[in-house]
Amino acid sequence: ALLHGAASGVARRLREVPLALRWAQRGVELESSKLTEMWWGNALRADGQLAAAVQAMRAAQRHDPEDLSVTSDLALWLTELGHTGEALELIEQALAKNPSYDCAVHTAHRLRFQSDGDPDHLVALADFMRTTTDASHEHHDLQHCCDGLPWLGYVPAAVEPYVDMLRQTTDEERSHPGELGVSTMGSPSALALLRRAWPRVAVAASEPGPPDPRVALRPGVRLWEFDGTRPSPALDPPTPHAAREVAAMLPLGWAAPPMAYDLAVRLSGVPVDELLATLVHPPTPVVETDRDRVSVPERQLQAWACLGLLHHRTAEPWATSTRRRLLVEIAFGAEDWTTEAALYALVTAAWVDPSCRADVAELLTARLRAVLDARRTRVVAIAVSVAQLAFITPGMPAAVRALARELAEDRWPASAAYEPGPAVPLPRPRRSWLGRLLGRG
């Protein structure tokens, strides 16, 4: 029976599902046990027979009610089947038996998040992962929950008239001179993107209403200079080496804040001035466009550069640190995509360091309020994105989070029963041979 079950697990991993079904069924016929029923359930699930798979996993649980890994899988499958209430009840019972068992903790936070969409569940899961070194196997619940959600699973697309113009024109049209008039001045980064893709375009923008988006809300590092409504970088381009280092982050895709933070450590060797320069001189000029989609890698690269700033002088206390000062100055500088990138880095700092959460929540609250004030008199292109970032900020007061969610509602699901967005998940860690054989993880 065990040999048939194990062989079924191997066949399933090799995508030989009919063979996996046949061997798993034979294993159960020879002897119904926890393991053979688990193999049978995994084979049925791989074949798309979820209801039958749940019944097999129920049988496995009856064989060993104290195996919380079985209970966790059963709870996840019940959720997929639409039985969320029963799933939550099961996993809460499992946590009552062992509050620190990794399978139960991961599954509980995942199901709670899928139930109400509250990002605090994901922050709590990230905290558990950071402080727990002894896990039964690798888990991907955090990444699964973050996939398809703005800033957690992908860098959201820009909402800008300049990007819309790229979407509405072809490469052939942009090879000729052109004129573009807009009623509102867009972000400096967006206009720079348009000019890279359409070098001979003449842009005329109306003067923005108050408060002036070109004026920093707080003094500090200056990324852009303005000649009327025409912005230009205030910093020299980065060195080729620094540009390559930042550009090398792009193929990594995106991930939940703790994973993205860990990956950005490779930018700790890039000098601060060089990282700042890449914010206004993107290291890749490539813009992929068609009639339905515009790929803007610059936004992701700006976020990586700001994450790189988080890895500089990490021994400095957060409150007086260089990394905090620079990110705050960028976040409260001229209204731009770089504002969003710096705010994301601040939010990430709060995800990985509980000691700075109150400070970051206060900063995000202040920036959100500034956005709301500006929206009363003019268009604020970064408004929804700032609201999304405020919503996922750890320790955010409930009233501010509710306000942020209201503003971001058209981009953030009311619950976590969502369709995945344009996330580019990072390669998953390898599971142990036993975990892969049993189908765990």
pLDDT band for position 28 (50/70/90)? very high
**Do 172 and 315 belong together in one domain?**
yes
Determine the pLDDT at residue 291.
Answer: 45
Determine the pLDDT at residue 160.
Answer: 79
**Do 249 and 110 belong together in one domain?**
no
**Do 97 and 198 belong together in one domain?**
no
Determine the pLDDT at residue 72.
Answer: 85
What pTM value is reported for the model? 0.82
pLDDT at 415 over 60: no
Q: What's the rounded Cα separation, in Å, for the pair 283 and 299?
A: 11
**Do 209 and 92 belong together in one domain?**
no
- Look up residue 241 and give its two tokens: 């080496």
pLDDT band for position 417 (50/70/90)? very low
**Do 377 and 265 belong together in one domain?**
yes
pLDDT band for position 166 (50/70/90)? confident
266 domain residue, yes or no = yes
- CATH, residue 110: 1.25.40.10
425 domain residue, yes or no = no
Contact 20, 9 (CB under 8 A): yes
Closest CA to 259 of 134, 343, 152, 360: 152
415 domain residue, yes or no = no
**Do 146 and 235 belong together in one domain?**
no
Determine the pLDDT at residue 68.
Answer: 84
**Do 187 and 104 belong together in one domain?**
no
Determine the pLDDT at residue 193.
Answer: 83
Determine the pLDDT at residue 75.
Answer: 85
Residue after which a domain boundary falls, among 114, 130, 150:
150
**Do 339 and 393 belong together in one domain?**
yes
pLDDT at 32 over 60: yes
Q: What is the CA radius of gyration of the chain?
A: 25
Q: Residues 328-345: what's their mean pLDDT?
A: 96
**Do 137 and 219 belong together in one domain?**
no
**Do 33 and 64 belong together in one domain?**
yes
pLDDT at 57 over 60: yes
Report how many domains make up the chain: 2
Determine the pLDDT at residue 138.
Answer: 74
pLDDT at 135 over 70: no
Higher pLDDT, 174 or 313: 313
Least confident of 127-131, 209-213, 418-422: 418-422
**Do 248 and 390 belong together in one domain?**
yes
436 domain residue, yes or no = no
294 domain residue, yes or no = yes
- Quick: pLDDT tens for 213-265: 999 999 999 999 998 888 899 999 999 999 999 999 988 889 999 999 999 99
Residue after which a domain boundary falls, among 150, 169, 194:
150
Least confident of 1-10, 171-180, 273-282, 334-343: 171-180
Report percent pLDDT > 90 for the chain.
Answer: 55
CA 272 to the chain's CA centroid: 24
438 domain residue, yes or no = no
155 domain residue, yes or no = no
**Do 24 and 127 belong together in one domain?**
yes
417 domain residue, yes or no = no
pLDDT band for position 136 (50/70/90)? low
Residue numbers of the domain that contains 266: 161-408
CA 304 to the chain's CA centroid: 12
Least confident of 161-170, 237-246, 251-260, 337-346: 161-170
Determine the pLDDT at residue 295.
Answer: 55
Determine the pLDDT at residue 339.
Answer: 97
